[in-house]
């Protein structure tokens, strides 16, 4: 690892979250690693040690690195899309294209206004 590499401690993310302390306890106890850089060997142990070192001693820390975590995001999206309650929120391709066009136009105008100031 590069000595210039800055690492944001995971516990700082949880500590700075604007959530109830009781919920934070549940979050500390249910950390699930998925995708990307979580595939590095030993990352779950490292995360667990770093979080434990900076968390309150009363916090129960549990970091899980499922073997299929490389595909966890895809699996989660697949499961979500199969729920009938989620299917009610689907939009047609034509609606999507209209929304995307509107967003692009909005940001183009916003950028132009900001560049003129």
pLDDT class for 110, splitting at 50, 70, 90? confident
Counting beta carbons within 10 angstroms of the beta carbon of residue 15, is it exposed (0 to 12), middle (13 to 18) or buried (19 or more)? middle
* Of the candidates 76, 73, 46, the residue with the CA atom closest to the CA atom of residue 61: 46
Average pLDDT over residues 30-56: 88
Q: What is the mean pLDDT of the chain?
A: 83
Please say if the pLDDT value at position 8 is more than 60: no
Instruction: Determine the distance from the C-alpha atom of residue 4 to the mean position of all C-alpha atoms in its chain, rounded to a whole number.
Output: 25
pLDDT class for 93, splitting at 50, 70, 90? very high
Whether the Cβ atoms of residue 48 and residue 80 lie closer than 8 Å to each other: no
Please say if the pLDDT value at position 1 is more than 50: no
55-59, 93-97, 98-102: lowest mean pLDDT where? 55-59
């Amino acid at each position: 690892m590069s000595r210039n590499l800055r690492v944001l401690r995971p516990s700082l993310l949880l500590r700075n979250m604007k959530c109830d302390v009781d919920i934070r306890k549940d979050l500390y106890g249910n950390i699930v690693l998925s995708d990307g850089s979580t595939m590095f060997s030993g990352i779950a142990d490292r995360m667990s040690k770093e979080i434990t070192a900076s968390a309150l001693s009363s916090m129960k820390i549990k970091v899980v690195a499922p073997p299929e975590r490389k595909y966890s995001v895809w699996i989660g999206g697949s499961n979500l899309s199969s729920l009938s309650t989620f299917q009610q929120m689907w939009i047609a391709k034509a609606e999507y294209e209209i929304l995307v066009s509107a967003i692009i136009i909005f940001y183009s105008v916003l950028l132009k206004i900001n560049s003129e100031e």
